[in-house]
Structure formats: structure tokens, C-alpha cells
Amino acid sequence: MITRRQFTLGLTALAFTGLTGCSFAGSSVRINKLSRGYGDLVVDPNGLLDLPSGFSYKVISQFGQLMSDGLHVPDNADGMGCIQLDADRVALIRNHELSPKHLKKQPSSIQKLTDDKAYDTNAEGKALPGGTTTLVYNIKTGQLEKEYLSLIGTIRNCAGGVTPWGTWLTCEETNTRAGEGLSKDHGYIFEVPANSDGLVAAKPLTAMGRFQHEAAAVDPRTGIVYLTEDWSDSLFYRFIPNEYGKLHKGGRLQALVVLNQPQFDTRNWDSEAMPLSQWFATTWIDIENPESPEDDLRKQGYSKGAALFARGEGIHWGDNELYFCCTNGGGIKHGQIMRYQPSEYEGSSEEEQSPGRIQLFVESLDKADFNFGDNITVTPQGHLLVCEDQYTDSVNNYLRGVAPDGSLYPFARLTAQTEPAGACFSPDGSTLFVNVYKGSKTLAITGPWGSVTKG
């Protein structure tokens, strides 16, 4: 079995020899290589998710289902994290990307909810519907043992990230201000412990910035949190905490700059400024006034030289490096995957001696191969797995595999008229969990993970 560490080491070697699967070939030609992955997809007789032969799924939770706390599962299941509780059990902390306007379409138990732990309420005193639910799942028995609301009163909880200290960072993808029935500003990150056993008091981590957050990933070595932003002119941020694992105690928010190339444009919309596989050294600039009453952090950072990214979305930490999706990056605007390796002195005064570096790892040349990548994770065999997020009259979203050589393949096709989201693996690598966004279904997928075609 290829481990996540072997995946990372393999990619590092490829970076110095040229990525054979998704390489820059000459001045204007880019070539995507396709892989068979796990083989052809088999049509699902239930009309939900097509998977390769040998794989199967079961629905462990869905919209309107009665939970252990007497409430019912909200809609719009999005980003999700999996955290080990004990030898057999994991906690799945699942975002619900809901705005105030969605409240009337939620189960009555959610519509009527009032709780002093809610972050914000509407004019009638009802908790805003955005937040998280937690599912306690037994990997050994394959059973859902408990399910409950764990955060409420927020807006558009899109993605997030797990932490090394056993919590989930849930991110608001909004810049909504207080007013018009709302009492508080929104656009923050909130922390939810995996062992909460019920609703937690919703406390915004204000020092991590108020902006249109997407996802987060934590370097377990340093505790630095890396953050994406969902704008077409977004920045890539990091938060250096004052104290490891204590994000509520504050820290510094910074934005990435390509060294000696201020205001570098990674999007490749008008030119191939960022060739595939080429490394660019980086530095970071401080962001002032992170609570940003004017929602101008990305403009502030760009004026200081920060690099631009095309709708930064899902992000996943590997082994001493991370990957994040840029949904509409690239010449045809159908998506990129970036790869960042931190400095051995990341976040310290010695960082300039050995700066971190960033690379364009994947760029779509054809929407049939890769289309609007969003949430991202790593398989037990060391492949990236990306949830597509495109909405047209005829939705055709896949879970896309990316082999270590950059080659692409379809792992699953969602036939429902919505998106897959929140893909994450159990720590033992046996089970992939994924959400079906509309209708809030959470699936547990098992199968012959070791049978993937080597890439």
C-alpha cells in the first residue's frame, strides 16, 4: 500500500524530473494524461452514484432524518472532516451551507430553534440555520451510533479543515454585515471539537480574518493554518497562531507573495504566467485589520504585492506540503490544483533563508476530464480525490482522481442534480465519506482501494 508519505515523496521526485502526467510541453501546449484509475464506472441502479466495480456505498444520514438530540438533519451538506474518537469510532463533522433565507425550508425543529449557544439569530429570535452536525460512526460495525447538531447560528458554512488537536474549523463563505434582521457580522471561522457531544457555543476566531472563507488546513508541525478564499481575485492566506493549538488566543494573518514577482497572477487566464510543475519561491506579507469592516482584505493584500488565485476552494494537508483547488483557474477556466511546500523555518524570522515554494500541479484542458474542482482529499493509496462543483442545466459532477504523476481519472459520478462534497477518509483508510449536497445525504463508500492503476 502506498502511504500518504510515499505519495508526497514521489511527487517531490517528480517535481525535479518534470511531471510526466500533466506537464508543460513547450511554450503554449499543455497535455493532460488520463489514467484508468479503478476502471470503468458501473451504473448505479438506485440512480445516485456510479462507482467502479467492487465498490459500494450506503446512505448513513439524510435530510430530515431524526437525530439523537431530537432535531432533524438540515439541508445543504457541504465540507466535512473525519476525526478519530477511539479504536472503532470516528466523528464526522459536517457543514451545512445555509443562509437566513433557507430557514423556512428546513425541518420544523430547525426552524423553531432558539439557543443561547447560537452565534446569531433573525429578527424573530430564531437561530440562523448555518452550522454543523456531528455524526459518530463505527468503522468496525459500519453503523451510525449518534448524530446531533454541534454548531448553529452561522451563515454559509462551506468548507473547513480538521486540526491535529481534534477539532473541525468550519468556515463562513460570506461577508454579510449586521443589519436587516441580523445582529452580528459574519465571515468568520468557528471551531468545533470532535468530542463536543452536543451544541458548542459559537465563538468566532476573529483574528483569522473576516472574509469569504472557503477551507482551512493545519500544518501539524507548526500549527500554522492555511486558508483559501472564494473570489475570482482571491488571495492565499496563512494564520500564525500566538500559541500552538490555541487559535482563540490570536495570531498574525498573512497573504502569500511570489518572491520578486509582486501581484503575480496564477490564474493563467490571459497568459501562461504559471507553467505546470515549475516552482516559485514565496514570501508573506502581513494583513492589517483582519476583521475587515469593508471586506477589503484581498484588495489590501494585492496592493502590497500578494498573488492572485482563481476562486481558492478545497485544501488538504499532506506530508510537509498541501494542495488546494482553484475552481475556475486556467486558460479554459475549468480549474487548477496548486501545491505548496512550506519553509523549514515557516513563520519564523529565518524563513527568508529558505523560503517556501508554490507550484501549479494540475490545470484542466477539457471539462470532460476535470471541471471546477472543489473539496479535495488524499486516498490511502496516495492519489488526490477531488469533488467537482459545476452547475449547468445538465449537471455532470464527478469525484476525480489525480495520480502521483498528475494523470486524471473518474472515480465516481454523481447522477443527482447537485454536487458531491466533503470527501474525507477514515483514519484506517477503509471508508470514504462523501456528502450529496442537496438533500443532505452522507455516504460511506467501501471497496478495493488497493486496486487502483499505478500512475
Which uninterrupted H or E stretch holds 255?
Answer: strand 251-258
Global pTM reads 0.92
pLDDT at 20: 25
Closest CA relative to residue 328, chosen from 233, 415, 228: 233
Query: What is the model's pLDDT at position 433?
Result: 98
143-154 β-sheet, strand order? 77-84, 89-96, 130-138, 143-154
Angle ∠(157,186,434) on CA atoms, nearest 5: 5
Cα gap 158→163, rounded to integer Å: 17
Do the strands 279-286 and 130-138 form a parallel or antiparallel pair, or are they unpaired?
A: unpaired
- Give the cell for residue 20: 510526466
Looking at the DSSP bridge assignments, the partners of residue 282 are: 258
pLDDT at residue 4 in the model: 37
Angle at 276 between CA 271 and CA 281, to 5 degrees: 90
Query: pLDDT tens track of the chain, all 455 residues?
Result: 333 333 333 332 233 222 222 322 222 234 467 888 999 999 999 999 999 999 999 999 999 999 999 999 999 999 999 999 999 999 999 999 999 999 999 999 999 999 999 999 999 999 999 999 999 999 999 999 999 999 999 999 999 999 999 999 999 999 999 998 899 999 999 999 999 999 999 999 999 999 999 999 999 999 999 999 999 999 999 999 999 999 999 999 999 999 999 999 999 999 899 999 999 999 999 999 999 999 999 999 999 999 999 999 999 998 899 999 999 999 999 999 999 999 999 999 999 999 999 999 999 999 999 999 999 999 999 999 999 998 766 678 999 999 988 899 999 999 988 999 999 999 999 999 999 999 999 999 999 999 998 76
Instruction: Sort residue 404 into left (φ over 0), alpha (ψ -120 to 50) or beta.
Output: alpha
The pLDDT value given to residue 168:
98
Phi and psi (nearest 5°) for 356? Answer: -70, 175
Contact status, residue 183 vs residue 105, Cβ threshold 8 Å? no
Q: Where are the domains of the chain?
A: 4-451
Give the per-residue pLDDT at 90: 98
Look up residue 283 and give its DSSP letter.
E
pLDDT at 32 (0 to 100): 65
Q: Which class would CATH give 4-451?
A: mainly beta
